[in-house]
Amino acid sequence: MAIRELLDALHEGGVDFVVIGGVAMVARGSSRATFDLDICHSREKSNLERLAAAITPFRPVLRGADPGLPFLWDAQTLRSGLNFTLRTEVGDLDLLGEVPGLGAYDAVLAASARTALFGRDTHVLTLDGLERAKRAAGRAKDFLDLATIEELKRL
Amino acid sequence: MNEEPEHWDQRILARIDSGVDVSQLKANLKLTPTERIEKMESWVAEMRELRGDPRAS
């Protein structure tokens, strides 16, 4: 997975986004691995257009979908759904319009902090934000992340 | 009398050891966020290589 390439494309495309999920956990100090980049994006029409354009060069397709299933990647497709799990030429990318426990982009942004990633100022979910999201998601893997967050907060 | 923790995860943690390796977390916190991600990506690439996954490189 080329996290840097995806982040560079999002920044260069002027996309409003927050890094969430496993990459945010790792950026905050977790030792866990992740196989995709998860972001929460603004649902503003102009942002959806920028997001669609930024990702187009990586030839995104729906992850896990039948390869024969027609899929048109553009802002209209993004408008028609809230969350997308994508496979791209540089790695898997999950796009979320809302995050359980936090809400839509503005709430997620408020639960993030600017963090230097690969030389760029990037909004990344804080430990508190991750804790709220993981607690709401409530899956087994979220429990392990919550235990890690608790330890990280003590350090 | 001890109060029951507020959240579901805290109630579980009150009963079992999570097994989180704090020494690894301490080592990670000495790195920058970028270095932490690069370390994780390197590990994922190695695991994929071991599995013969074409996405290793």
Q: What is the pLDDT of residues A41-78, one digit of tens each?
A: 999 999 999 999 999 999 999 998 887 788 889 999 99
- Contact: B25, A151; criterion CB under 8 Å: yes
Contacts 24+ apart (CB under 8 A), A82-88: A82/A43, A85/A36, A86/A55, A86/A60, A86/A61, A86/A62, A87/A60, A87/A61, A87/A62, A87/A63, A88/A6, A88/A55, A88/A58, A88/A59, A88/A60, A88/A61
pLDDT tens for residues B28-38? Answer: 999 999 999 99
Contact: A117, B47; criterion CB under 8 Å: no
Question: Is the pTM here over 0.90, yes or no?
Answer: yes
Instruction: Tally C-beta pairs within 8 A across A and B.
Output: 77
ipTM surpassing 0.90: yes
pLDDT at B57 over 80: no
Q: Are B40 and A33 in contact (CB under 8 A)?
A: yes
